[in-house]
Structure 1
Amino acid sequence: MPSLDSVWYTRCPAPTPLSIAHQLGWIDRQFQASGVSVRSIRDSKDPTVRQSHFTHALDYSFRQGGNIPPIWARSGGRETRVVGITTTDEFQAIIALPSSGIAKGADLKGRRLGVPRKPGEKIVDFQRATALKGIVSALSLEGLGHADVELVYLDSTEASLIERGNAAFLGLKRRYPYGEELLALARGEIDTFFVKGAEGVVLANQIGAVVVSEFGFHPDPKIRINNGTPRPLTVDARFLSEHFDLVADLVETVTRIASWAEANPDDAVRLIASEIGVGEDAVRAANGPDVHRHLALSLEDEQVAAFDHFKHFLLEWGFIPADFNVFDWIDRRPLEAVSRRIAA
């Protein structure tokens, strides 16, 4: 087995057990016990390293967050494996201003829906894909399709992932979403747009928006599934094959968060809010009052089927370059090893 001095990790600003485990110091302690240091991809000053947040290009790396980038990376040939999945439903909605006259989903027919777009992006345009999936879901609930509305693409040239603490963020950790859509709405160029998560709740509240269609907790998982639902824990295949025990240790550490959050609900919400950069009330509004009960790491068949459904959506809309077998992408061995450890 080759020696290993350090590993790379990254996570999205979202409710994930990996994020909480990192903030509690569990991830660092787990790897340090094996003489391995943990380095953050998102905090790197090197843009090539930061890009691995989307491309999964770095060997000996792990990631938990939105599922579009890892699906795109796997579609492009990057050998990664899904070793766990967390399903934490969240607010997803189409919003409009009260003056628009749009009050319900059926009113969207013939109207202008804003879609963010990064035309020069070399990686997957996950924000455009996320918005389009939300729009398609909302329209389908009314028996409508994307041809029944006008999709207005709102172009931005800002990179998807700038280093944290950049001066452009005015002292905040990152750029919050929906800026292009909000400006277009204010200019009268669009009538509605898609928002999700805690940031979406805050923005809708701030502008006094009408929630035209809300479907983040819809009973049909094919309606709910989007970039943030569900969120996979992925590792590169080399890491898994050369250091299986370290990956199993990682999975065990992340798995322990579910019971910790159940016992410490207020702390769990506080850490989620800190990760996203919003108030704790926004987390509860976006993810529900029992968000602390939805941080388990598992590999249920319905979770994998949800990925497969979303992969087909991304393929149909041209977001990923090639088809692949989602079920072969899953590696249950680390989670099974953890289950045996717990049973013993």
Structure 2
Amino acid sequence: MSDEKLSEIWYTRCPVPTPVGLAAQLGYLEETFAAEGIALRSIIDSPDPAIRQSHFNHTLNWSFRHGGNVPPIRARSEGRKTRLVGITWTDEFQAVITLPQTGIRSVSDLKGRRFGIARRPEGIVDFHRATALKGLVSALSLEGLSHRDVEIVDVAVRDSVLDKFGDASLFGLRRRPPHGEEIAALIRGEIDAIFVKGTPGIAVANLIGAVLVADFGFHSDPNIRVNSGSPRLLTVDELLAEKRPDLVARLIEAIFRASEWAKAHPDDTRRFVAREAGATEEQVLVANGPDLHHHLGLSLEPGLIAAVGAYKDFLLEWGFLAGDFDIGEWVDPRPLEAATRRAAA
């Protein structure tokens, strides 16, 4: 153990199903670090945009992150000194939807049609766009089509996810749900179909009475399902990993504890995830399936690492990364191995 003295650690998680989110709500994270005399500070809850930006670019020292994989992969491609210490795979609703009047009823009907994909302002990696593009590619592959068989139409989004934190335009909420601009373009007839996912996707598809063109979030082929949220990554900055690996192992122990709690409390887990996602329990049940409580673990199994590598290659091909890097060199298995040994003991 290092004698490095710390008074606080920064952390962040996405508003989606993650064992870190569950551990935070159960008090396990705060309890774990309080025992070490360390206070937890939430990056995403900070009123300072410069701090909140680390949720997307992983710039803060002494920090960890659990959530969608596009920002940490992008940060690593830019040379950020981070470590991948755990992977969670929780399947979720992924679909292409349209409106009844388009006449689109199947993936093959998408050929030659306009597919709307949001494009956000510069500043951070456009993970929403990356997600929608992978969703489009996956959907088209179900019928042997490619992105060249459709017309991709950019839908401009004015606000950055870093803007308007607490602004009156959010009507008292913390963030604006995704897909708003795409839905508006769909209703105006400017595009013919869009990609949606997760509990927000379920909500908007229900709201507009959408036609389901393709539903593949639980497809048997993981290459079809892999996207920004499948799998989700636990990453830590290099300083924390090298100077205090004991704390990273303690973090993973707290996550293990939350994962085991989830397995024994399926209904409570659904309620906690709904709170985390700002969704209803019904939406969580539909979006993530009845076995969600069994899919909030953490591991570095070779198949999961390969899935991260496959999505990294997709992001590189589509121009979302600053450069290529070796996934194997990014992975640091030591904290997970130490936590597993302690759990077994």
Quickly name the TM-score band, shorter chain normalised. Answer: over 0.9
1:222 aligned partner: 223
Amino acid at match of 1:17: P
Q: Does 1:13 align with 2:21?
A: no
The Cα offsets for residues 231-272 of structure 1, whole Å up to 9 and x where unpaired, read as: 011100110111111110001101111210111111111110
Consecutive unaligned residues in structure 2, runs of 5 or more: none
Consecutive unaligned residues in structure 1, runs of 5 or more: none
In 1, Cα distance between equivalents of 2:277 and 2:14: 8
Amino acid at match of 2:20: L
What is the 5 A alignment of 1:225-244?
225-244=226-245
Amino acid at match of 2:50: T
Cα offset for 1:163? Answer: 6.4
Match of 2:112 among 107, 110, 113: 110
CA contact (8 A) 2:28 2:258 kept: no
1:300 aligned partner: 301
In 2, Cα distance between equivalents of 1:42 and 1:208: 33
CA contact (8 A) 2:199 2:284 kept: yes
Change (3 A) 1:162 1:27: farther
CA contact (8 A) 1:43 1:164 kept: no
Amino acid at match of 1:92: Q
What is the 5 A alignment of 1:177-256?
177-256=178-257
Taking structure 1 as the reference length, what is the TM-score of the superposition?
Answer: 0.98
The Cα offsets for residues 9-65 of structure 1, whole Å up to 9 and x where unpaired, read as: 000010000001111111111111111000011111111000000000000000101
In 2, Cα distance between equivalents of 1:286 and 1:124: 25
In 2, Cα distance between equivalents of 1:163 and 1:66: 22
In 2, Cα distance between equivalents of 1:50 and 1:86: 23
1:48 aligned partner: 50
In 2, Cα distance between equivalents of 1:274 and 1:144: 38
In 1, Cα distance between equivalents of 2:218 and 2:329: 28
Give the number of aligned pairs.
Answer: 343
Cα offset for 1:161? Answer: 2.9
Runs of 4+ in 1 over 3 A off after TM superposition: 162-166
1:156 aligned partner: 157
Structure 1 range deviating more: 76-85 or 120-129: 120-129
Q: Does 1:31 align with 2:16?
A: no
In 1, Cα distance between equivalents of 2:151 and 2:170: 32
1:93 aligned partner: 95
In 2, Cα distance between equivalents of 1:164 and 1:240: 31
Match of 1:65 among 67, 76, 84: 67
Percent identity over paired residues:
57
CA contact (8 A) 1:42 1:164 kept: no
Cα offset for 1:220? Answer: 1.2
After superposition, the CA RMSD in angstroms is: 1.0
In 1, Cα distance between equivalents of 2:343 and 2:83: 23
Cα offset for 1:2? Answer: 2.6
1:265 aligned partner: 266
In 2, Cα distance between equivalents of 1:253 and 1:165: 31
Taking structure 2 as the reference length, what is the TM-score of the superposition?
Answer: 0.98
In 2, Cα distance between equivalents of 1:142 and 1:49: 44
